[in-house]
Amino acid sequence: MILFDGELLPDVQLEAVARDLSDYCIKTIDSREITAQEVIEACASLSDRIRKGAYDELLYTLKKQGRVTEQQLQEAAALFDRKNLEYKYQTELGGLTGGAGGGKRYYMPLGILFHIAAGNAEGLPFYSVVEGLLTGNINILKLPSGDDGLSVFLLKELVRLKPGLSRHIIVIDVPSTNKKLMQSLGQIADAIVVWGGDDAVRAVREMAALGTRIISWGHKLSFAYAVQNVKEEELRKLAGHICATNQLLCSSCQGIFVDTEDMAVVRALGKRFLTLLEEESLKYPELSLEIRGKVGIALYNDELENLTSKRELLRGKGASVTLADDHVLEASHMFRNCWVKPLPRTKILKALKPYRGYLQTAGLLCHEKDRIYLEKQLLKAGVVRITGAGGMSAMAAGGAHDGEYPLRRYCRIVEVEAETG
């Protein structure tokens, strides 16, 4: 599927579009600028239509399949309303003062952004392009494999609502294995925005032209940190978060570190949490047979390996908890399966600092008297975002992503000297 100049084209036209793309983009840069206000107006109209049910038929399928919840849809729609986008724009790009000696200083778009999106979150490719549009860039989007068409649909709607954006949105569906085409797209880009793990980022660096900016939103891990006598209400919120996101997002909880060295305490909390995971999972659609099969095989392999290790697997209905006595931060099997490990507060910095490049969100489950100390230790270790138990993946307008403001990364600051004499 191709979206080019506001029209959907068949895949057979991909080579023809790619061949003329460089000239097309240069002509667009020379003849058509877009403003943030145009983008905000289009997004606000789209947000309003989502809230009024204009796309309920499409979104119903996503909800039924458990790929998105109603709360997540409403949060996403809120991100794109006028007030929140204006706040995001002002927060990320506001406050730039004039140049020295009365000259001018302002933001300019990088030019052409080549977005290589990941498929772990519904609508993520759309969101990446919107950020590129807000900064005035031309956006070439490579869809992730297995994309369900949601992002293309939303981008097509954006163009329908504001036709003037059509030349700044180009969507292609090309496999990453087509290295010749991927490299040609990378060669015309001023920056490549890549979402994904280390291998994806490494592959992009190899194909990019010299001088091309690489903007990577790489693989991140998030976790919860809990004191020993944490309230059940907080644990239930965390269990709900795990079930709602299926632990697919960078901000999703992979496991829980407990403020203790005592494995008996870890085991007791793990058993409590498994019960809550089972209960909360009943509120969400059952996982597909394919996913249940893959997770089942992974858990069976774990049980075999655990025969010669100190790890213990607690199996439940539609969920599991793995108990381990190490301080290693690791990915879970996802899909309502997590780990619980000991990590005394005095060892947070030493244990987590080695993972500083991969740390994102920590859900903090503690009493008020412990909060300031624990927040400081987690932030010193490299965590960039601390939330409550249920808000680890909540979206907020103007919030940083992985400790940075994306819009600033998609711009350059230019300065023009004041005329003299």
Find which of 8-17, 63-72, 339-348, 389-398 is predicted with most confidence, using mean pLDDT. Answer: 339-348
pLDDT per residue as tens digits for the range 222-273: 999 999 999 999 999 999 999 999 999 999 999 999 999 999 999 999 999 9
Confidence (pLDDT) at 122: 80
Q: Decide: residue 115, CB within 10 A, 0-12 exposed, 13-18 middle, 19+ buried.
A: buried
**Shared-domain flag, residues 273 and 374:** yes
Structure confidence at residue 148 as a pLDDT band (50, 70, 90): confident
pLDDT above 90 as % of the chain = 79
What mean pLDDT do residues 64-82 have? 84
- In this structure, is residue 345 part of a structural domain? yes
What mean pLDDT do residues 114-122 have? 88
Distance CA 320, CA 336 (A): 7
- Integer angstrom CA distances of residue 404 from 119, 218, 376: 21, 13, 19
Residue 263: CB atoms within 10 Å: 18
The H or E element containing residue 313 is strand 312-315
- Integer angstrom CA distances of residue 269 from 49, 227, 229, 273, 341: 44, 10, 9, 6, 10
- In this structure, is residue 157 part of a structural domain? yes
What is the length of the chain? 421
Distance CA 221, CA 256 (A): 12
**Shared-domain flag, residues 203 and 289:** no
Least confident window among 96-100, 195-199, 324-328: 96-100
Structure confidence at residue 103 as a pLDDT band (50, 70, 90): confident
pLDDT above 70 as % of the chain = 99
**Shared-domain flag, residues 215 and 240:** no
Query: Residue 153 sits in which domain range?
Result: 2-219+402-416
Distance CA 297, CA 282 (A): 22
**Shared-domain flag, residues 49 and 63:** yes
- In this structure, is residue 392 part of a structural domain? no
- In this structure, is residue 113 part of a structural domain? yes
Q: Are 253 and 225 in contact (CB under 8 A)?
A: no
- Average pLDDT of the chain is 93
**Shared-domain flag, residues 185 and 261:** no
Q: b/e map of 217-240 (b: 16 or more CB within 10 Å)?
A: bbbbbbbbbbbeebeeebbbbbbb
Residue 272 belongs to domain with CATH number? 3.40.309.10
Q: Are 145 and 3 in contact (CB under 8 A)?
A: no
Q: Would you say residue 99 has pLDDT above 80?
A: no
- Please report where in the chains the tokens 């601390």 appear, as a residue: 386
Confidence (pLDDT) at 421: 58
The H or E element containing residue 300 is helix 289-306
Q: Are 316 and 275 in contact (CB under 8 A)?
A: yes
Number of domains in the chain: 2
**Shared-domain flag, residues 233 and 263:** yes
**Shared-domain flag, residues 128 and 245:** no
Q: Are 64 and 285 in contact (CB under 8 A)?
A: yes
Distance CA 41, CA 36 (A): 9
**Shared-domain flag, residues 110 and 170:** yes
Distance CA 323, CA 347 (A): 19
Question: What's the predicted TM-score (pTM) here?
Answer: 0.92
- In this structure, is residue 136 part of a structural domain? yes
Confidence (pLDDT) at 97: 77
- In this structure, is residue 421 part of a structural domain? no
Question: At residue 200, what is the residue type?
Answer: A
- In this structure, is residue 397 part of a structural domain? no
**Shared-domain flag, residues 330 and 227:** yes
- In this structure, is residue 6 part of a structural domain? yes
- Please give the distance of CA 262 from its chain centroid, rounded to a whole number: 35
Least confident window among 41-55, 76-90, 197-211: 197-211
HSE toward the beta carbon, residue 268, CA cutoff 13 A: 12
**Shared-domain flag, residues 262 and 179:** no
**Shared-domain flag, residues 109 and 120:** yes
Q: In what order do the strands lie in the sheet with 359-365?
A: 312-315, 320-323, 337-342, 253-258, 221-226, 359-365, 385-387
Least confident window among 9-13, 31-35, 142-146, 315-319: 142-146
Q: Tell me the two tokens of residue 10.
A: 């068949």
**Shared-domain flag, residues 255 and 292:** yes
Residue 100 belongs to domain with CATH number? 3.40.605.10
pLDDT per residue as tens digits for the range 395-412: 887 889 999 999 999 999
Q: Would you say residue 101 has pLDDT above 80?
A: no
Confidence (pLDDT) at 258: 98
Distance CA 30, CA 185 (A): 19
Structure confidence at residue 145 as a pLDDT band (50, 70, 90): confident
Residue 252: CB atoms within 10 Å: 26
pLDDT per residue as tens digits for the range 299-351: 999 999 999 998 999 999 999 999 999 999 999 999 999 999 999 999 999 99
